[in-house]
Amino acid sequence: MVRIARVVPEVSLDRAFDYAVPAELEEKVSLGAKVRVPFKSRELVGYIVEFPREPFTGNLKPILEVLSTRAFLPAILIELAQWMAQYYCAPLTVALMSVLPKAVRRADAAFKQRLWVEALTTTLPDETATALKKARAQLAAWEHLQQNGPGWLADLSQVCSPAAWRGLAERNLISIASRTQERDPFLHSPVAESAPHELNAEQVAALKVVGEEMVAEKPRVVLLHGVTGSGKTEVYLQAIAKVLALGKSALVLVPEIALTPQTVEHFRARFIGQKVGVAVLHSHLSSGERHDQWQQIRSGHARIVIGARSAVFAPLENLGIIVVDEEHEHSYKQEESPHYHARDVAVMRGHLERVCVLLGSATPSLESYHHAKEGKYRLVELLQRVEEGQMPVTHVLDIRSAKKGEPPVLVAPRLIEAIQTRIDRQEQSIIFLNRRGYSSSLQCPQCGYVEMCPNCSVTLTYHRQASRLRCHLCEFASSVPHACPQCGFAPFKYAGSGTEKVEHALMDAFPKARIARMDSDNMRGKDAYAKTLGEFAEGKIDLLVGTQMIAKGLHFPRVTCVGVINADLALQIPDFRASERVFQLLMQVSGRSGRGQVRGEVFVQTRAPFHPAIQFARHHDYAGFVEQELAFRDSLHYPPYERFVLVTARGRNEEKTLYVLDQLAKEMGRLDLPETEITGPAPAPIARIEERYRFQVFLRTRRIMAVTPRLRPLFMDRAWPDDIRITIDVDPVDLL
Ligand code: ADP
Ligand code: ZN
């Protein structure tokens, strides 16, 4: 009887295909193996996802070659991909490809081979010594090698000429051989080992709960709600130490590594003395580095993995814990198909592997908090800052103009005063604004004309440094008109404000202060964040101005003043989570203040001083906020009480796009889904991006687990009309 292997080839189809396992490959195949198979008239690489039991009659094509010496993909990741494909309504191949990084899948993916030079003897035979006296370069090379030990030929060629090394090799005095060099992204950033802190009572209680779940038969998810500066990271570190002691491995997810270099440093510093290997996966790795890190993990050399979203698929075996730091962060949601949420995938992975999942945040998402309240998750809380650190005092500054026609306040006098005091005391300030650029838009004071992006339905943002108008959704940029294109009035007026404008205002107010700006405009380079943050940590910068990029996880004890220029921007976004986001943001931002000995202050500028998100944040009242917000969500049937599915159609032709989505909505309606309401199609809040019209259909359901498997077939392997793109997003976080 022929053994059958079910293979998912690397093409975008929602299918696996069966192949026969030839007798000579019988020994080599395994679940998760990478294989070469015939596919139509081509050959493709694929992965074995199953060995079906049912007997096969008929003619199967054979597997041509097994490309991996052992199971390439751990079985658990195959299972996870299959779950994602179902839940997020994505093709199986797409789900499987997102589990395996491209750098590892590539045909030429391999460790880097370089030439390594080693001496074969330590003494020179007499006649050779005489001969070398005439070959001075070779003698010098020989002596260098004896003194400094072996090395890479490329490096040694900087010392002596390549010819000299080859000469020595010809005399059989040294060997030059190919060897694997692992690309280590940390080669140039050593850290000093850090010792564990003695835990305070709250931390002890939290760690105890984690310890219980770690050894439980069916572990429950633990939600760690800890205010900023309460020592959550220390709890993670000590939980991981326990896991290592059990001989297991640990996976840590953080929102975006480039923005939180300090977190990674903490983990490396704590475990660097132990021979466990810490792998780091993030978006700034080169393809080669990514490949090497993955292989390090797969081979078991790295037992701690820290990474952003896609690290949830790290091929670790024998997992002991999965930590998701800042679990409320929206960057855990993948923007392309499959639109997975890494926190939810982590919970699923923990469930499949029976591993404890620890979710941590100062402001847990309402979804996770709701699960904890319902008893599905275990809740532990750290409500005090470590070492009697106090929460900062928050001042809400009302910046509504007192008189009509008065220019709006950019930086309120009280904030200016507070910054001045910090400069005098040699403390630091962080000024935060959720908008880059100089002004948000260009508006004609006479006719009201606003300069819009020709491709997207949003206004253009003025960037002073580049002297350009830019669209933040597409790459469009144009020069700044001198007069209004509509009525000819000059000069144009700039409305709203961005980081650049605030930076200039602060430079005017504090001509002697050292000011730095951090936003995605000026932080493009690989090391730009690390450099600026390093200078800030060393006290070379007094004032840091930036977007949310600086709101997260940073720990600078000398920061005692934080200013929020405009808390309202995010409240105006047409999204039911706007309030939650603003609350989280204010809590995060204020968490940057007063982390040292001196109590911090936070100044929040707003035109909606009595908005609940602002008031609850001011009192650091998470429980109060969620209670009110959950009641509101419940009454409106929003998540976490009901779940959303968002179907979006995009196309250049407005009517056609709407028509296609309308037909699809009708098909969805005919499915007669249980306890589900379908609304739309309607234009998306941002009705056009990159010249494409956008329409949405919303599904709102109490029975998501029953709904997605039935919706899925409507989307699989389906040919939509040319130029129309349809996406389905389960549990969307971006509704625009
Ligand atoms: P969080 O992640 O909750 O904002 P951190 O874990 O960054 O807080 O902790 C803040 C600071 O307190 C860090 O510098 C950390 O080393 C220190 N720390 C944590 N736990 C303790 C403890 N039990 N005793 C003393 N210092 C601690
Ligand atoms: Zn645009």
Q: Range with the lowest mean pLDDT among 89-98, 174-183, 185-194, 243-252?
A: 185-194
Answer with the residue of higher pLDDT: 609 or 475: 609
Instruction: Give 650 or 283, the one with higher predicted confidence.
Output: 650
683 pLDDT higher than 70: yes
DSSP string, 661-718: HHHHHHHHHHT--TTEEEEEEEEEEEEEETTEEEEEEEEEES-HHHHHHHHGGGTTT-
Domain ranges of the chain: 4-103, 112-181, 201-381, 389-435+511-633, 439-496, 643-730
pLDDT at 313 over 50: yes
Question: CATH 3.40.50.300: does it fit domain 389-435+511-633?
Answer: yes
pLDDT band at 242 (very low <50, low <70, confident <90, very high): very high
Burial class of residue 172 in the structure, from the number of CB atoms within 10 Å of its CB (0-12 exposed, 13-18 middle, 19+ buried): exposed
CATH 1.10.3720.10 fits 643-730, yes or no: no
> At 188, is the pLDDT very low, low, confident or very high (cuts 50, 70, 90)?
very low
Report the percent of the chain where pLDDT is more than 70: 89
Of the pLDDT bands very low, low, confident and very high (cuts 50, 70, 90), residue 734 is: confident
Q: pLDDT tens for residues 645-675?
A: 999 999 999 999 999 999 999 999 999 898 9
- Please give the number of the atom of ligand 1 that sits closest to the Cα of 227: 3
Q: Which pLDDT belongs to residue 55?
A: 66
Q: What is the pLDDT of residues 347-356, one digit of tens each?
A: 999 999 999 9
At position 483, the amino acid (one-letter code) is: A
Question: Is the CB–ligand 1 distance for residue 232 below 6 Å?
Answer: yes
The residue whose C-alpha atom lies closest to atom 20 belonging to ligand 1 is 231
Question: How far does Cα 702 stand from its chain's mean position?
Answer: 29
DSSP string, 99-149: HS-HHHHSTT--PEEEEEEEES-SS--HHHHHHHHH-HHHHHHHHHHHHH-
Q: Which whole number is the average pLDDT over 484-500?
A: 72
Ligand index nearest the alpha carbon of residue 691: 2
Residue 184 pLDDT more than 80? no
Residue 411 Cα to ligand 2 middle (Å): 29
CATH architecture under which domain 4-103 falls: 3-Layer(aba) Sandwich (3.40)
The span from the CA of 327 to the CA of 318, in Å, is 23
- Between residues 203 and 157, the one the model is more confident about: 203
Mean per-residue pLDDT, 563-574: 77
Q: To 10 degrees, what angle do helices 622-635 and 366-373 make?
A: 90
**Average model confidence (pLDDT) across the chain:** 85
Tens digits of residue pLDDT in 10-28: 877 778 888 988 888 888 8
Residue partners of 15: CB distance under 8 A and separation at least 6: 8, 92, 93, 717
Ligand 1 in contact with 532 (CB < 6 A)?
no
User: What tens digit of pLDDT does each residue of 110-124 get?
Assistant: 566 677 788 887 777
Ligand nearest the Cα atom of residue 456: 2
Compute CA distances 719 → 16, 656, 716, whole Å: 19, 15, 9
Give CA separation, 361 vs 223, 224, 326, 329, 364, in Å. Answer: 8, 6, 5, 9, 5
The answer, yes or no, to whether residue 583 has pLDDT greater than 70, is: yes
Are 165 and 141 a contacting pair, CB within 8 Å?
yes
Same fold, 201-381 and 643-730: no
Inter-residue contact 305 to 316 (CB < 8 Å)? yes
Name the packing angle between helices 201-214 and 232-245 (round to 10°): 40
DSSP-derived secondary structure for 573-591: SSSTTHHHHHHHHHHHHHT
Give the C-alpha separation, 173 to 189, whole Å: 35
Nearest by Cα to 691 from 453, 480, 493: 453
Give the Å distance between the CA of 415 and the centre of ligand 2.
34
Among 178-192, 545-559, 625-639, the minimum mean pLDDT is found in 178-192
Cβ of residue 226 lying under 6 Å from some atom of ligand 1: yes
81 contacts 312 by C-beta, under 8 angstroms: no
Q: How many residues in total does the chain contain?
A: 736
Radius of gyration of the chain, Cα coordinates, nearest whole angstrom? 30
- The dihedrals phi and psi of 360, each to the nearest 5 degrees, come to -125, 145
Query: Which segments of 263-307 are extended strands (E)?
Result: 278-281, 304-307
Contact 284, 526 (CB under 8 A): yes
Side-chain-facing half-sphere of 110: CA atoms under 13 Å: 9
- Sheet containing 477-479: order of strands: 461-463, 468-470, 477-479
Burial of 703 (0-12, 13-18, 19+ CB in 10 A): middle
Q: Can you give the three-state secondary structure of 436-487, one letter per residue?
A: CCCECEEECCCCCCECECCCCCCECEEECCCCEEECCCCCCEEECCCCCCCC
State the DSSP string of 308-355. Answer: SGGGGG---SSEEEEEEETTT-GGGB-SSSS--BHHHHHHHHHHHHT-
Query: Is pLDDT at 228 greater than 90 in this prediction?
Result: no
- Ligand 1 in reach of 204 Cβ (< 6 A): no
Atom of ligand 1 nearest to the CA of 555: 7
Tell me what pLDDT residue 668 has: 93
pLDDT for res 237: 95
* CATH number, span 201-381: 3.40.50.300
Helices (H) and strands (E) in the chain, counts: 21, 30
CB of 234 within 6 A of ligand 1: the answer is: yes
**450 CA to middle of ligand 2, Å?**
14
Contact yes or no for 282/308 (Cβ under 8 A)? yes
- How many whole angstroms separate alpha carbon 727 and alpha carbon 732? 11
Query: What's the pTM value of the predicted model, to 2 decimals?
Result: 0.83
pLDDT tier at 160 (50, 70, 90 boundaries)?
Answer: confident
200 lines ligand 1 (CB under 6 A): yes
- Ligand 1 near 555 CB (within 6 A): yes
What's the 123 CA to ligand 1 centre distance in angstroms? Answer: 55
Does the CB atom of residue 618 touch ligand 1 within 6 A? no
